[in-house]
């Protein structure tokens, strides 16, 4: 009986882990983080009185998007060349 319960708990944990991984890789998450970053940067730039805040707020968003596009390939390279 303990084994059945342990197996069920492991399956539930694995399902949660898979959902977390899917969220981390989802376009919805990237879009949400981009939007929050853009709005935060724009509000900050407006608050400090900078010129063209709506345009300049795109800089951190572009950095985030570029990092999400390049990190998977960099990770594959690192895993391929990393020696344990």
pLDDT in tens, 42-54: 999 999 999 999 9
Give tens-digit pLDDT for 13-58: 999 999 999 998 899 999 999 999 999 999 999 999 999 999 999 9
- Domain residue limits, the chain: 2-81
Give the per-residue pLDDT at 1: 63
Confidence of residue 74 (pLDDT cuts 50, 70, 90): confident
DSSP 49-69: T-SSHHHHTHHHHHHHHHHHH
């Amino acid at each position: 009986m303990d084994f059945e319960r342990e197996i069920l708990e492991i399956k539930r944990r694995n399902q949660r882990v898979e959902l977390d991984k899917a969220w981390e890789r989802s376009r919805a998450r990237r879009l949400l983080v981009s939007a929050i970053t853009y709005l935060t940067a724009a509000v900050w730039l407006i608050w400090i009185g900078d010129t063209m805040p709506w345009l300049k707020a795109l800089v951190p968003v572009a950095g985030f998007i570029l990092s999400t596009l390049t990190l998977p390939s960099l990770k594959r390279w690192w895993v391929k060349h990393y020696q344990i």
